[in-house]
Amino acid sequence: MKQGDLIKFDVTSLGDKGEGVGRLGNDNIYAVNAIDGERAVARVSYAKRNTVFADVKEIINKSPFRQEPICDRFLKCGGCQLQHMSYAKQLDFKRSLLAKNMKNIGGFEIDVPNVVASPLLRGYRNKVQLPVGIVGGKVAVGFYANNSHKLVPVAHCPLQEKWAKDMAEAFLCYLDAADVAVYDEIKHKGLVRHIIGRYIEGQLLVTVVINGEELPTKEVFINLLSKKFDNFGLFINKNTKKTNVILGGKSKWIYGLQYINAEINGIKFVLRPDSFFQVNWGIAELLYAEVKKHLSQTDTEVIVDCYSGVGILSALLYSENIKAYAIEIEQSAVADADYVKEQNGLVNLTNICGDVAENLPEIFKKNQNKNIAVVVDPPRKGLAAKTVELFRQTMPQQIVYISCDSATLARDVKLLCQNNLYQITHIQPFDMFPYTRHVECVVLMSRVKD
């Protein structure tokens, strides 16, 4: 089999990225936009040994779970992978993926419960990051095609509310009016690289990432934004490196709001452009409530929120009956966490600016013979090996692991449970990112009694 061949095959399962998987002779076929149970005609895009990737050209027998995509950029933009599936099928895929990774990577035979559905399926994201480039001779913003840095212009993403479209339109008008050069990552020339927006409770923070020092004629952009938004702030972020990483150092305030002031579930907090905040707050509220409920059932006396950021999770998990610590290495984030503590009267919470590896053992010394739970919410790459070893040495009674990647979750949980140190006592997936292949999950591990 070779590139360009037209093939016909039966889709028997779904791969880790939501692609259809089947066999033809001795070859394994992988094709996006195909659902298990379908028969498809596809053209081979890549073939090596017994692995074939193909683009679907026709569905002969359609799955009852197939639906029309909600966006005309589906399969062009790399943001979504599951728009061709009904929502019930998306949730089933995510539950199955979590169970498969926990078994194949972690070695756990677990009855994974149904995924908690998102309250919103469209417009659920409160943050957007848009690369800037030239497409067809014109300046454009949008998203990259899958596995590439080819920019796909996107006028409006259904996962965003109207504010994102308004912000992008104002930005394009500014670039055109001010004749600002956009960044070329191959030549490493040009000024503007990305625009980032975060919108919560009528407040917008806009960050322009630049390959330089200043944003020229920024007053033009401010004026255009003011026509669409009543309450906004403008920042620039300097990134002059040859890198795919979006942000450089700290963002610099230029105009308007310096932070978002918000309140959720009775907790007052502030957010800056660089603050970590779940993009789908509707599902995050349900997830954090799940964590708090199960910790309250374990006679927890001390909670340690590792890598706590601006302290929102620490505040939501707070209880007057439990001693709480929050450890965060970024000083500005700790300052915001102190604001959260003060505004919400969290008297039993101690915010610590420092490294988890250095401070966690000290917390254990101060709280000997107490039931201690640690909470971690790492990025997709999971926990560092030294952090896993730290938990195995300090041996908290409970470990709550919040994950956005089931593969690294399974890997880390396997390491934590080695030698029968811990056992999984609760697992629950949540749909933080509808229409994408990603699934958020909470795992509660309890120390095995001596």
Distance, CA of 99 to CA of 92 (rounded, Å): 11
Cβ-based neighbours of 219, under 8 Å, separated by 6 or more: none
Contact criterion met (CB below 8 Å) for 371 and 300? yes
Three-class SS state of 325 = strand
Tokens of 213: 């020092």
Tokens of 93: 């895929």
Contact criterion met (CB below 8 Å) for 363 and 304? yes
Q: Tokens 């394994």 appear where? A: 28
Distance, CA of 196 to CA of 180 (rounded, Å): 17
Distance, CA of 66 to CA of 82 (rounded, Å): 10
Angle value at C-alpha 120, between 117 and 122, nearest 5 degrees: 125
The CA radius of gyration of the chain, in Å to the nearest whole number, is 24
Distance, CA of 300 to CA of 255 (rounded, Å): 45
Tokens of 330: 């970024």
Q: Check if 404 is active-site.
A: yes
Contact criterion met (CB below 8 Å) for 240 and 209? no
The one-character DSSP state at 246 is S
Q: Indicate which residue of 71, 80, 306, 404 is catalytic.
A: 404
Own/partner contacts of 285-290, CB < 8 Å, gap of 24 or more, are 286/116, 286/119, 286/430, 287/116, 287/402, 287/430, 287/432, 287/440, 287/442, 288/313, 288/316, 288/317, 290/116, 290/428, 290/430, 290/442
Would you name the residues annotated as active-site residues? 404
